[in-house]
Structure 1
Amino acid sequence: MPNIQSLIAQELNLSVAQVKAVIDLVDDGNTIPFIARYRKEATGGIDDATLRDFDERLTYLRNLEARKVEVLSSIEEQGKLTPELRSKIEAATVLQRVEDLYKPYKKKRATRASKARDAGLEPLAALILAQDPQRCDPLAIAAQYVNADGGYGSPEAALQGAQDIVAETIADDAEHTASLRDLTKKQGAIAVEGINEDEKTVYDAYYGFSEPITKIPNHRILAIDRGEKERKLKVKVQADASAAIARLEQRMVKQNGSPFTQALKEAIADGYKRLIAPSLEREIRSELTDRAQTDAIRVFAKNTEALLQQRPVRGARVIALDPGYRTGCKLAVLDEYGKLLDYTTVYPTPPRSEIKETQRKLAHYVQKHRVNVIVIGNGTGSRETEEVVADFIAQSNEPIQYTIVNEAGASVYSASKLASEEYPDLDVTTRGAMSLGRRLQDPLAELVKIPPQSIGVGQYQHDLNQAALERALTGVVENVVNRVGVDLNTASVSLLGYVSGINAAVAKNIVAYREEHGAFSDRRELKKVPKLGAKAFQNCAGFLRIEGGKNPLDATSVHPESYPVAREVLKRGNLKPEALTRGGIPDIAERVGDASALATELGVGLPTLQDIIAELEKPGRDPRDDAPAVVFSRSVREFDDLSVGMELTGTVRNVVDFGAFVDIGVKQDGLVHISKMADRFVRHPSEAASVGDTVTVWVTGIDKERGKISLTMVKEKM
């Protein structure tokens, strides 16, 4: 039986010792963020993303082993478990192999073969498979098995029944299945037709389409799947039946001179066409879809991670506009901490087009609340609203800028139970406008309130396995939240719910405790929160920060278990913890000298000591500060302003399998095809761009009729 630890070590390029350490930590109730941040000595510094893959693979392999036990038990109960079969099942490293081996022993619904077996035709089937070379008349032999009551009233019928048994026996053989699966994958193709090829649809490109299974890209699989689901496309796996049957004959036919050779060949052909080919088609289609969905989820997760790690715009006093036509634009004014100061509705768009009145109200709020940034959602009416705002800024003497934010998911949040609990006195539209403004001020804190799959990055999200998508995206959000850290005294229930070791119920208890007892002044107070036990405290404490508390170390990512070491480090530098309140100790590394020697002296791992020193240098450092700054505008760019060859600066809004969409200041994002993303081979667009990146692009094509803009990130001679 393959060793789980060895398999994971080989697949993830880790040592067996590392794998064993992680498994022990996971089994002991430690979370992935905690293990990644505070158990580096044990794991050898495995990062959180790799640990997520590790955890998923561990779950799969453990489920595989559990399934093997079930299968072995079932076959043994039937009295059919041989040492050879046991060995094959125990050696399997994928679930498909286990199911292939189990197939002949599974209880089946009534089949043609089972009916023939019930009629006593199995001995005749055995004669066909044995390929006896002695001369005889197969029909004469079959006459001995005629069973009119069983439905086989003639020698021909009896022989056909025996062939049905042979066909199913061949189809149930794991080795035959594996061989034909390999052949079909290597030589087969996905063939697509339009159900009504006279109908113009978005799937026109797939009418009469065919592509080898080995070459078809994931985004094409998802598009074809969607077209089939919408009943616009017919899809099949195109395989060489002659080659498949020939391969089976080569494996099965040992006595070409046997009187039963023809019956065997007919059974082989029937077994392939009626049983094996349809089964392989379903399996390969499912496998391709799983592969495509897994890749799409990976891209979705990477985009979500980049979006959540966008740099907060600190100090922004915001007017947030949620555009609309008939119902107008909802306007919310927020201070630099996201507190609502004012709200109203303006009508800069048709049918009312109250441009001057809108600009008068903007001027009023800018003056009254010292606003320095205007945020506009990118939904319906965004273009017209942007023109009014840009014109207002051009006429204003105030230092105001504006930017467009992606409003995907804002309506989901504004109508949610969470939003109604946070702002019970506000209507959904005002909550939506507030959410847009807060996305600029602190993207992470606001976006965690929205189901990750509603954030609007990625592709085909509604076609994906929702459970797998949610699992992956939840992991990404947890990683980012814990990487950044959370202010214990200001964090919402939503944000706290993603902190290592804290579930939704405990998050609510933390906020309730805070409201009843006031702000936390010491991390140890967390132990008083209902349902937050010792293990949860260990997992969460290092990620929860307290500014201005009793212990300056509580404002850092130093874990309470390492406070004695941190105090000793400060002592070696002739410093007290209070020194941290002045913004950190930039020269702490020089003060303490050789970190390796100090780690040995203090009996602590070097990675932990290095993390402590780095945190003392700059307490509570926000990794998002390394992200690209938000691109602001002061004037709107018209579609007609664009020309081929124009150089522009834009923000990457989405990354998909075939390229990246870039916001260049017009209503429609431009597409940089994967072939135009770098002057080198790019395997996937995510290698060259991430959501939130600020990039320089050049316009290569403008399709005004379809509203499409083609861009390149590689400067070309136009």
Structure 2
Amino acid sequence: MTPEEQSKQAETVPVTPKEVELRVTELAQALSKELGLARGQIERTIALLDEGNTIPFISRYRKEVTGSLDEVQIQAIADRALALRTLFERKVDVRRLIEAQGKLTAELATAIDAATTLQEVEDLYLPYRPKRKTRASVAREKGLAPLAEIILQQPELVGDVDAIVEEYASPYLNAEKGIDTSLEAYAGACDIVAEVIAEDADVRGNVRASFFKRAMVGAKVADPEKVTEKDPNGVYQLYYEFQENVMKLVPHRVLALNRAEREEVLRVSVSLAYEQARQDITARYPIKASSPFAQYLVAAMEDGYKRLLAPAMEREVRAELTRKAEEHAIAIFAANLRNLLLQPPLRGRKVLGIDPGFRTGCKLAVIDETGKFIESDTLYLFQAEKAQQILRDLIKRYDITVIAIGNG
């Protein structure tokens, strides 16, 4: 059933004012299960973040509020809180936009509320998103939507197929609208069907899953005549004739392919044959072989996949591959930098590091000659005798000869 048909058969659902903002308590409850932290900790941390406090400030100077959460945990809370708030706000916005068109049904509202990712929300909104003129919109303007609905429903009729097809097309023939033959009528109706199928949220979800599992990433030289000019040293020669499954493609190859494409050396593609995705579509739109209109549904299905759905999935897969590859590159860089920073500061010398602090105490750490962590402690300046004893014990126990003091 098309979105137009659904809107005629169901009452619209208003967006109530209380649904416009996600409460911190609800946010904290969701994040508590996800991150394995106490709800109170998360609520207080979100409150500090909402006040504009930075993560380093919170982790260092608001330990008593957060329950001693470290920077990594606070960053995780900040990231997930932002993601959930963005998702919630987009749900509200999508519901409002669809309601403004008078097409928000109870079923659709429930589906939007149940969506767990932005992509799911966008898939549900896609059929209602204002579009530039498309082949389907032109066909709708010509009044071919009812014929498209017949193709989708595939009534099983007995009789001469050609005669039945001509009979159902005849009411839509209109020379003024440029529909002179039944072939032209069915061509326009198939354009509508192709768009309906390509914008169906269930179909997109199934095809997306298949793309991320079975699609092939391929690359070939963009212009054979200019390849020596664009890639004089043959840096990308390995990828001149390249093809690999999307799940096996390692991050550094993704980045290399992206660079080669930016430098106009290669043309990169992500593809999944229609035959491999066909079942994902027919699961939602089964073909009735006995229907005179089955041939049109089959044609529209393939056209919708190749012309509309596959290109959209290719963009999504490439964007996701790039995101993961960049995150992996950053993680590798961070690990290398960490190893560099954790090199022993003074070869052959044990070092006592002191991070000054009054209210939360001075943090102490001892490392050995190789830079390996040995022990840590905390002393408070307002407990002078105890602080001196802690320092003397550490210096004597580990034979400390170098003390490094931070700038506070």
TM-score (norm 2): 0.76
What residue is the counterpart of 1:345 in the other structure?
Answer: none
- The counterpart of 1:167, out of the listed 194, 205, 210, is 194
Contact 1:116 1:162 survives alignment (8 Å): yes
Q: Which residues in structure 2 correspond to 1:293-312 (within 5 Å)? A: 293-304=326-337
| 1:282 counterpart = 2:315 | yes
Does the residue aligned with 2:36 lie in a helix, a strand or coil?
coil
- For 2:126 and 2:328, how far apart are their aligned partners in 1? 29
Residues 134 and 588 from structure 1, CA distance in 2 versus in 1: closer, same or farther, beyond 3 angstroms?
Answer: farther
Q: 1:50 to 1:303 in 2, by over 3 A?
A: farther
**Contact (CA 8 Å) 1:557, 1:620: kept in 2 or not?**
no
C-alpha separation between the residues in 1 aligned to 2:78 and 2:354? 22
What is the match of residue 390 of structure 2? 586
1:93 equivalent to 2:116? Answer: yes
The one of 270, 285, 300 equivalent to 1:237 is 270
Task: Show the counterpart of 1:317.
Answer: none
2:211 to 173, 176, 184: 184
Equivalents in 1 of 2:83, 2:337: separation in Å? 24
Residue type matched to 2:272 in 1? A
**1:54-91 alpha-carbon deviations (Å, 9 max, x no partner):** 21222222122221111111001011111221122122
**253-262 or 172-181: which moved more?**
253-262
Counterpart position of 2:172 = 145
What's the counterpart of residue 228 of structure 1? 261
- The alignment yields a C-alpha RMSD, in angstroms, of 3.2
| Aligned counterpart in structure 1 of residue 90 of structure 2, from 46, 67, 75 | 67
8 Å contact 2:126–2:199 — kept in the other structure? yes
Match of 1:204 in 2: 237
1:262 deviates by 1.0
Residue deviations 1:366-402 (CA, integer Å, cap 9, x gap): xxxxxxxxxxxxxxxxxxxxxxxxxxxxxxxxxxxxx
Rounded Cα–Cα distance in structure 2 between residues aligned with 1:103 and 1:123: 21
Q: Give, in angstroms, the shift of residue 145 of structure 1.
A: 0.5
Call closer, same or farther: CA 1:67–1:310 in 2, change over 3 Å.
farther
Structure 1 pair 155/569, CA: closer, same or farther in 2 (3 Å)? same
**CA distance in 2 between partners of 1:281 and 1:290 (Å):** 14
Q: Label 1:236 to 1:155 Cα distance change in 2 as closer, same or farther (>3 A).
A: same
**Paired residue type of 1:586:** I
Q: What is the rounded CA distance, in whole Å, between the counterparts of 2:330 and 2:322 in structure 1?
A: 12
1:38 positional shift: 3.3
Q: Deviations over 1:235-287 (max 9, x none)?
A: 11131211212331243125331111111111111111111111111111111
- Give 1:195's aligned amino acid: A
Does the residue aligned with 1:34 lie in a helix, a strand or coil?
helix
Q: Residue 148 of structure 2 aligns with which residue?
A: 125
Change (3 A) 1:153 1:4: farther
Tell me: CA distance 1:484–1:250, structure 2 relative to 1, closer, same or farther (3 Å).
farther
Deviation for aligned residue 1:98 = 1.1
Query: Would the alpha carbon gap of residues 109 and 121 (structure 1) be closer, same or farther in structure 2, given more than 3 Å must change?
Result: same
Q: How far apart in 2 are the matches of 1:227 and 1:484?
A: 48
Give the letter for the 2:290 counterpart. Answer: G
Closer, same or farther in 2 for the Cα pair 1:229/1:568, shift >3 Å?
Answer: closer
Identity %: 40
The answer to which of 156-165 and 141-150 deviates more is 141-150
Note the residue ranges of structure 1 that are not aligned, 5 or more in a row: 315-482, 486-555, 591-617, 624-718
TM-aligned CA deviation for residue 181 of structure 1: 0.7
Letter in 1 for 2:197: I
Identify which of 16, 22, 26 aligns with 2:45: 22
**Match among 195, 205, 227 for residue 222 of structure 2:** 195
CA change 1:210–1:274 in 2 (3 A) is same
Indicate if the aligned counterparts of 2:287 and 2:297 stay in contact, CA closer than 8 A. no
Answer with 1 or 2: which has the greater Rg.
Answer: 1
For residues 6-45 of structure 1, the aligned pairs below 5 Å read 6-45=29-68
The 3 A distance-change label for structure 1 pair 6 and 210 is: farther
The 8 Å contact of residues 218 and 291 in structure 1, kept in 2 or not, is answered as yes
Amino acid aligned to 2:32: A
Contact kept in structure 1, 2:45 and 2:66, CA below 8 Å: yes
What CA deviation, in whole Å up to 9, does each residue of 1:426-455 have, x standing for no partner? Answer: xxxxxxxxxxxxxxxxxxxxxxxxxxxxxx
How many angstroms does 1:301 deviate by? 4.0
In 2: Cα distance, 1:484 partner to 1:98 partner = 51
Match of 1:260 among 278, 286, 293: 293
Aligned to 1:105: 128
Partners in 2 of 1:164 and 1:5 — Cα distance? Answer: 46
Does the 8 Å contact 1:557/1:619 carry over to 2?
no
Distance in structure 2 (CA, Å) of the matches to 1:103 and 1:160: 23
* Cα shift at 1:141: 1.0
Counterpart position of 2:3 = none
Report the alpha carbon displacement of residue 561 of structure 1 after superposing the two structures with TM. Answer: 11
Which residue of 557, 569, 572 maps to 2:357?
557
Read off the aligned partner of 2:181 and give its amino acid letter: S
CA distance 1:159–1:68, shift in 2 (3 Å): same
Distance 1:10 1:589, change over 3 A: farther
Which among 139, 149, 152 is matched to residue 116 of structure 1? Answer: 139
Amino acid of the residue matched to residue 42 of structure 2?
Answer: V
Q: Within 1, Cα distance between the matches of 2:98 and 2:392?
A: 66
Looking at structure 2, the residues matched to 8 and 589 of structure 1 have their Cα atoms a distance apart, in angstroms, of: 43
1:360 corresponds to: none
Greater helix percent: which structure?
Answer: 2
Q: State the Cα distance separating 1:4 from its structure 2 match.
A: 3.1
Q: Which of residues 218, 221, 240 is equivalent to 2:251?
A: 218
1:370 maps to which residue? none
How far residue 297 of structure 1 moved from its aligned partner, in angstroms, is 2.6
1-side partners of 2:113 and 2:123: how far apart?
Answer: 13
For residues 306 and 30 of structure 1, the distance between their equivalents in structure 2, rounded to whole angstroms, comes to 29
Q: Note the 1:356-367 alignment, pairs <5 A.
A: none
Give TM-score scaled by structure 1 length: 0.44
5+ residue gaps in structure 2? 1-18, 348-352, 363-378, 395-401
State the partner residue of 2:282. Answer: 249
Q: In structure 2, which of residues 49, 67, 75 is the aligned counterpart of residue 52 of structure 1?
A: 75
The correspondence of residues 330-409 of structure 1 with structure 2, limited to 5 A, is: none
Contact 1:188–1:238 (CA under 8 A) maintained in structure 2: yes
Shift of 1:99: 0.8
Conserved? CA contact 1:125–1:165, under 8 Å: yes
Decide whether aligned partners of structure 1 residues 203 and 58 sit closer, same or farther in structure 2, where only a CA change above 3 A counts.
same
Q: Which has the higher contact order (CA 8 A, sep 6+)?
A: 2
The alignment partner of 1:255 has SS state of coil
Question: 1:140–1:155: 8 Å Cα contact kept in structure 2?
Answer: no
In 1, distance between residues paired with 2:339 and 2:55? 19
Distance 1:167 1:589, change over 3 A: farther
- Does the 8 A contact of 1:189 with 1:213 survive in 2? yes
For residues 310 and 484 of structure 1, the distance between their equivalents in structure 2, rounded to whole angstroms, comes to 18
